[in-house]
Amino acid sequence: MRENDRNDDNLIEALFRSNRVSASKFEDALNKLPSAPILKHVTQVPNDPQQGMFIVDPTRAPELPGWCFYLGDRWYCIYPRDPLHAIKVYPDKKSNQIETGAFRFTVEKDLDMHAITFAEGFNGTPGSGATNFTVRNQTRGINIVSVSIDSGAEHSNGTIAINEGGDPQDPNHVVHWKDMIYITTTAVGSGSKGLGAYLTFTPWEFDPN
């Protein structure tokens, strides 16, 4: 199922080129999609799928299911991207500073009941010494994640620990509409400038099992 996963806007063109089918044959296959069987789990897919068969694959996340269809001799799946916030804490030419709430924003309605599942940081100009920042839900009084950019590096190394503790029905890394989020710088490398952050938000739902 996963060998042809795509999530970019050029999927249809890529399919057309890779399968080298005539326009009429390709269009005929796509026209079958709305009336094709819709199966809610990959385990329900028959061993002999038919051209144009369409399924919903919820295995990645029930809130962001994949759309899969069979064309030629294989399945093609399109999975939506998790929302990503790209944040510029300081302009490129401004030196980073140790500051509480150096960048602040409220959670928009679309991200209500989403979890912060990944965070990265970068410097426009690397510094001598580490640059560190913390992402904090100021409304709930919870530090969600801390990120470190090594001395001389432009980008964090990707090693983070998300605070997923707290109430299982409303864990610490889950945010709500109108929550105030702080990015607080706790250490800055000498000469570092233009700090930025990336935050990934993933839909979250309590699973009693």
Same domain, 35 and 120: no
Residue 177 sits in which domain range? 84-203
Distance CA 183, CA 203 (A): 21
| Whether the model pTM is above 0.85 | no
| Cα Rg of the chain (Å, integer) | 22
In terms of Cα–Cα distance, which of 88, 68, 97 is closest to 6? Answer: 68
pLDDT of 61: 56
Confidence of residue 98 (pLDDT cuts 50, 70, 90): very high
Name beta bridge partners: 147.
Answer: 133
pLDDT in tens, 5-30: 444 445 545 554 554 445 455 456 55
Give the count of domains, the chain.
2
pLDDT in tens, 66-81: 777 778 877 777 777 7
pLDDT in tens, 99-139: 999 999 999 998 999 999 999 999 999 999 999 999 999 99
Residues 72, 163: contact at Cβ < 8 Å? no
Evaluate whether residue 35 is within a structural domain: yes
Q: For residue 161, what are its two tokens?
A: 């620990």
Same domain, 63 and 150: no
DSSP 27-45: HHHHHTGGGS---SSGGGS
The CATH number that applies at residue 131 is 2.60.120
Same domain, 125 and 149: yes
